[in-house]
Structure 1
Amino acid sequence: MENIGQKIVELRKSKGYTQEELAEKAKVNLRTIQRIENEENKPSGNTLKFICEALDTLPEKIIDYGKKEDLKLLVLMHLSVITYLVIPIGNILIPLIFWVSKKDKIINLDEKGTRLLNFQIIWTVLTTITLSTALLTATLELTNLENGYISYVLLFLFVILNIINVAMAVIIAYRIKRKSKYTSYPNLIQIIK
């Protein structure tokens, strides 16, 4: 939330408002506006909301000030999921490095990174359980010398889950690059917030 005051000054001037006019429209004390614009204070949630309504903008636009848009980094973060094919749990570790190091600098990285990591954690747990159960079942089927097909079904499910994960990473990365809708993983369970 750096440079909020600077962003408010720019928006206020672009609207042609004086500090007094903004204070009046936002129903906020003039001294509060002056302190915020001089970076002496950060606005509270309600104050920011009132100022944004007076300036006809969204609070997210002001809070994201100082962040930059970097679609290439977002694409790279989503494609980094595929590293699990070479590095065990690379689908979590590599995106986690992107998320931790850049979430305060890149627009949308915090939200998209959180969704990506939550999805990958759930996916990793599911595939680990599926593969472990398949291997255990295969071992039991071999020792009993029965023709069991449960291990084959579970291995097939494991392969399908892997195909889905790679496909989702590629599709979402492509959509981010093209600035399409639905450029994030589904928000199934929030493990990381």
Structure 2
Amino acid sequence: MNLIGKKISETRKLKGLTQEELAEQSNINLRTIQRIENSESEPRGKTLQLICNTLQIDLEELISIDPALKGNSITTKIINGLFLLILNLILVAIIGFMTLDTNANTNSVFGGVLLSLFIPFFIVVFTREMPGAERVLKFGFGYISYLVLVTIFHGFPTGFSTGLFPCLLISLSILYFGSEFIKIPQQTD
């Protein structure tokens, strides 16, 4: 029996309901309830919501039982990791091109500064529940790597005078401290 089907079955029995009563109260076909409890199918979307409402189960709690529904599969982790790697490379390439490039002028450096403010700001807005250190590790490891590589290959004075290091430090600071500066009211139900 899958974990969700087991939890639904246990909760239904604790509430003293038969499968027929659960089906009637939740407006779901009896055969669907039987398939869910016998692990022949997994409820999704509206069906899962209706069952949770009838049994007075918190949907998030029920989903957290099943690791497959939470997206913790190894494939999901690999895809997420590759996405974060590509995102970090793109962010670093943009800021590096706008500041460290030999054709960079004052306008492009100013654009790099603006991007180093706004891109991390939007990352913080969409990940406001994430701790700052985790956010820096996920979205800022490209900045840190670039900072180290430029220091090794071009030297600290070059990185600083071109405006690259200030841009990278601004970005890392916003990623780490951003949720302190951006107080977004929590939604209450």
Structure-2-length-normalised TM-score: 0.47
Normalized per residue, the structure richer in helix is: 2
TM-score by length of 1: 0.46
